[in-house]
Amino acid sequence: METNDRYEIRLAGEGGQGLILAGLILAEAAAVYDGKNAVQTQSYGPEARGGASKAEVVISDGVIDYPKVIAADLLLCMSQEACSKYVYGMKKNGILIVDSVHVDRVPTSRAYMIPITKIAEEATGRRITANIVALGLIVGLTGVVSRKAIEAAVRARAPKGTEALNLKALEAGLAEAERIRAEAERGQSVPIRAS
């Protein structure tokens, strides 16, 4: 019975935010560079841009049967709609990361409210790299894949010519995670868990 060591990640937001690419990179980091099993699935609507979009990644040392998230260990919300919809589908101790640029109503106080898009803009000048910043945050906060793995995966999957840019975004995310951890250690009251 390997069904229990699953780590379930849900990345939710809108079409065009690159969440499916982010999921893919995360899964590739786990599967190819960390040598674990990983499955990435997705769900999106008919819109080419805008509309709800969702990527899910399940990571496990064992066999992954059901490929979707049952209850998220980690939930990233890049839109208000996604947040309202998915916040209840989390594990008890699941981690909630929210882009505070897009989301202002979070029905819990136990969330990382992080201006991801703003960080992206500051770090790379391109809001579109928010997805990679988010990856940095996720990896930094959870360690679900190794730093080396996520870097390799970003490098491999970033559109040609944008590798450096995206690595910068990843770096920014990782740094922000570092900062938060440090603050938390210092006892600052960073709301860190969704109930």
Partner 1 sequence: MRRYEENRMYRYLRRHKKFPNVWCPGCGIGIVMGALIRAIDRLGWEKDDIAMVSGIGCSGRMPVYMDFNTMHTTHGRALAFATGLKMVKPKMHVIAIMGDGDVLAIGGNHFIHAARRNIGITSIVINNSIYGMTGGQYSPTTPTGSLATTAPYGNIDQPFPICELAIAAGATFVARGTVYHAVELDRLIEKALLHEGFSVVEAVSYCHTTFGRINKLGTAVDMLRWQKENSVTREAAAKMTPEQLQGKIVRGIFHEREFPEYTAAYAKIVEQAMAAQRKA
Partner 2 sequence: MAARLMQGNEACVEGALAAGCRFFAGYPITPSSEIAELLSRRLPQVGGYFIQMEDEIASIAAVIGASVGGVKAMTATSGPGFSLMQENIGYAAMAEIPCVIVNVQRTGPSTGLPTKPAQGDVMQARWGTHGDHPIIVLSPSSVMETFLLTVRAFNLSEKYRSPVILLMDEVVGHMRERVELPPPESLEITNRVAAHVPPEWYFPFEDPSTDVPPLAPFGEGYRYHITGLFHDRAGFPTERVDEIDAWIARAFGRIEQHRQDIISYEEDVPAGSRVLVVAYGATARSARHAVKLARAKRYKVGFLKLETIWPFPEEATERLARQCKRVIVPEMNLGQLALEVERVVGRQKVRRVNLANGEMITPQQILAAIEEK
Smallest separation, CB 42 to partner 2 (Å) = 6
Tokens at 24, concatenated: 């893919």
Q: Give the chain's count of helices (H) and strands (E).
A: 6, 6
Tell me which of partner 2, partner 1, none is bound by residue 70, counting a contact when its beta carbon lies within the kind-specific cut-off of 5 to 8 angstroms. partner 2
CA angle 116-118-124, nearest 5°?
100
For residues 45 and 67, which CB has a smaller minimum distance to partner 1 in the complex? 45
7 to 36: interface string for partner 1, x by CB under 8 A: ---------x--------------------
* Count of residues touching partner 1 (by CB under 8 A): 7
CA–CA separation, 83 vs 124, rounded Å?
Answer: 26
What one-character DSSP code corresponds to residue 127? G
Strands (E), 47-144: 52-60, 72-77, 90-99, 112-114
Smallest separation, CB 49 to partner 1 (Å) = 4
* Residue 23 one-letter amino acid: G
Smallest separation, CB 44 to partner 2 (Å) = 6
For residues 43 and 109, which CB has a smaller minimum distance to partner 2 in the complex? 43
CA–CA separation, 124 vs 38, rounded Å?
Answer: 29
Smallest separation, CB 153 to partner 2 (Å) = 9
- Interface with partner 1 by CB under 8 A: which residues? 16, 46-51
